[in-house]
A and B are shown apart, each in its own frame.
Chain A
Amino acid sequence: MNKQRFSLFDVLNVFLLSVLSIAILYPFWQTVILSFSDPSSASSLGVHLWPEKWIPDAYRFVFSYQDIAAAYFNTILRTVIGTVIIVCTTLLVAYPLSKKDLPYRNYFTIFFLIAMFFSGGMIPEYLLIKNLGLLDNRLALILPGAVNVFSIIIMRNYLMTIEKGLEESALMDGAGYFTILTKIIVPLSKPVIATVALWAAVGHWNAWFDAMIYIRDPSKTVLQMVVRQMMVDMDLSQTQFGGGGMTNANLLLSNVRAATVMISIGPIILIYPFAQKYFIKGIMIGSLKG
């Protein structure tokens, strides 16, 4: 029998990893504290591990401020619609490309693969959106990323490994490919669909650069841009989020920003425990499959 002993190495190791975990979490915790603190204690120097008083004023302000509410709505909207579209395009391309006997399959694969390596770049993409008249249109946040080649590859690799028997007998019975895709392929590939959907959702939820260059109208922007705007306009009096409302609420911009950050990362943290395994599955399939 091996005796379970803790060596110096074990102690050091646990200590080191604990320090790392705390260092990683501290900025998140500080955001929580800041979002609930009253302005005077929040702006003092020091380690704030617990607020003197839990004050929800910043959240009250955030939820009552129209531009923030609109931005939150836009973020949710683009995430839901964008994710559905990416999942659909992924399935619609991955299924045909997974069929080894599809004539000219290679040409189609190359058409999609090239897009993974070559792109027009920031400025030509901006010009395209401008020429299409999509500036200040929410479609500019959804359409350019509607086809995700990386997801297609992950899905195609998975579909190539699943059992073909059911599909072939359905074909014999005269079922069409669309029916097979929805009735047989989709139910069989739920875990990969979940992975693709979660990745797409997190991508859309966190996206900000497209909104920054394509959207000017504050009623159409996304939550991430609100946070960014609060960071850039450090001077309270100049920011669109400052002015009258801010002084009435007796809050600091940093309180409000922390609260906005919290409502922005809240949903990700909530799904995190359940979604983890799918995220990891994604990286494993994506990077190790030949």
Chain B
Amino acid sequence: MSTVTPLAERPSVRKTNENWVRAKRMKALYLMMLVPMILLFTFHYVPMYGIMVAFKKFSPGLGIWNSPWNHFEHFKGLFHDFLFTRALRNTLIISILKLAISFPAPIVLAVLLNEIKNGMFKRVTQSISYLPHFMSWVILASMVGEVLSPQRGVVNYVIQLFGGQPINFLSDTHFFIPVLVLTDVWKEIGWGAIIYLAAISSINTDMYEAADVDGATRFKKMIHITVPSLVPMIVIMFILSLGNILNAGFDQILNLYNPMVYGVADIIDTYVYRRGIEQFQLDYATAVGLFKNVVGVALILSANAIIRRRSEHGIW
């Protein structure tokens, strides 16, 4: 212990030196990343500085830095703001209903598709099923509006055939949420099924053969082999969805809702949009958005941590 190792020979320093030498040799690789890093920094990290607005009394004339501090006043106001608590409640209700209905739908579709023996029929059905996934909610909302239209929509036509009164689905607080959930199923059922179909195709065929020997019916094999084999994947997807519970579907709702259904349809994201961009209360809207982002990130990170612990493979 009495002898002092020369600085350059200490392991940690030697490692650093080696790294530097190697880094110099590979400097072209760092250079490659330069422009993308500047872009990402400007358009992703700089707005994080703008979050400061949530703690200020923001006036556009003074700018972000010079506007006076308002500390936590906006956040203290959150839970006294009826419109915010309503948006929070709506967000949770819509998300939970989607978890209950849009989440299992692709699993059912995948299991049913797997039972189809005709390859052509299976392929065509599958291709059709994920077509809406590639359309924006602007386009889909326009189609939904036509199908549900009280004047010429097919749904109201059927209702009237059976002697009912036409329903204005998109302006009725009782029907708006079911419309949200069903159109969500329409858009995502096929896309969601892909991952379960892949999981099904990796099930060991020995199990089915063993079941055949035991005289199991097709239906029994489906219930006792296919579905249980999907459980690990279902659990992963479910935890991921839980992590996204504060995202109730901004694009969908912004394109389908109208003031008549704000009471049930206004979610946190749409509230931030209206408060911030339409009414220009930038500081308060940023505070609402920040609240949602902080809770949302915490949820997503915990979801990831849980999945990692369970199954060794997280999202990245």
Contact = CB atoms under 8 A, between A and B. Distances in A.
Contact of B125 (A17, A93, A280): A17
Nearest to A260: B142
B53 A17 contact: no
Given A120-B51, A153-B316, A21 B129 contact: yes
A111 B125 contact: no
B70 to A, nearest CB: 15
B214 to A, nearest CB: 16
B286 A121 contact: yes
Chain A residues touching B, range: 35 or more
A26 B157 CA distance: 14
A131 B289 CA distance: 20
A147 interface: yes
Interface stretch (A43-51, A186-194, A242-250): A43-51
Interface stretch (B39-47, B87-95, B172-180, B224-232): B39-47
B19 interface: yes
B286 to A, nearest CB: 4
Contacts of A103: 19-20, 22-23, 26
B293 interface: yes
Contacts of B125: 17-18, 20-21
Contacts of A159: none
B249 interface: no
Contacts of B209: none
A46 B289 contact: no
A283 B195 contact: yes
A209 B250 CA distance: 10
A31 B297 contact: no
A204 B103 CA distance: 27
A231 B138 CA distance: 9
Contacts of B132: 24
A71 interface: no
B300 interface: yes
B131 A28 contact: yes
A47 B157 contact: yes
Nearest to A42: B152
Interface residues of B, number: 93
A26 B147 contact: yes
Interface stretch (B1-9, B28-36, B77-85): B28-36
A119 B8 CA distance: 42
Contacts of B290: 121
Interface string A16-45: 111011011111101100100000001111
B293 A92 contact: no
A227 B139 contact: yes
Interface string A258-273: 1001001100110011
Nearest to A149: B40
B272 interface: yes
A47 B154 contact: yes
A9 B152 contact: no
B29 A124 contact: no
Contacts of A257: 142
A24 B186 contact: yes
B139 A92 contact: no
Contacts of A254: 146, 152
A83 B90 CA distance: 36
B14 to A, nearest CB: 13
A149 B22 CA distance: 26
Interface in A183-222: 202, 206-209, 213
A92 B43 CA distance: 18
B204 to A, nearest CB: 17
Contacts of B316: 113, 153
**CB-based closest 9 A-B pairs:** A120-B47, A124-B50, A206-B136, A290-B313, A27-B143, A96-B29, A121-B289, A124-B47, A103-B19
Interface of B: 19-20, 22-23, 26, 28-30, 32-33, 35-37, 39-40, 42-51, 53, 63-64, 109, 112-113, 115-117, 121, 124-125, 127-129, 131-132, 134-136, 138-147, 151-154, 156-157, 160, 186, 189-191, 194-195, 198, 218-219, 251, 254-255, 269, 272-273, 276-277, 282, 285-286, 289-290, 293, 297, 300-301, 312-316
7 contacts: A14-B121, A95-B32, A97-B33, A119-B293, A128-B43, A128-B46, A279-B134
